[in-house]
Amino acid sequence: MAIWVCSVCGWEYNEEEGYGDYPAGTKFEDLPDDFECPVCGASKDDFEKQ
């Protein structure tokens, strides 16, 4: 499991915890292509694996 960080605002998506409609264990690459940072709206391409 990994943590992905938004390079714009620093929000973290933790694969182990999931987020919103995405249950715990959902890998970042399995999120839809149009996934956006819930804080700043940055695109999935703006996330970096920590």
pLDDT value of residue 16:
98
Strand partners, 36: 43
State the sign of the Cα–Cα–Cα–Cα dihedral 40, 44, 46, 48: positive
Q: 2-50, pLDDT tens digit by residue?
A: 999 999 999 999 999 999 999 999 999 999 999 999 999 999 999 999 9
pLDDT value of residue 44:
98
Report the number of distinct structural domains present in the chain. Answer: 1
Name the token pair of 35. 């996934």
pLDDT value of residue 8:
98
CATH number assigned to the domain comprising residue 50: 2.20.28.10
pLDDT value of residue 11:
98
pLDDT value of residue 19:
97
Q: Which domain holds residue 26?
A: 1-50
CA–CA distance, 38 with 44 (Å, rounded to integer):
11
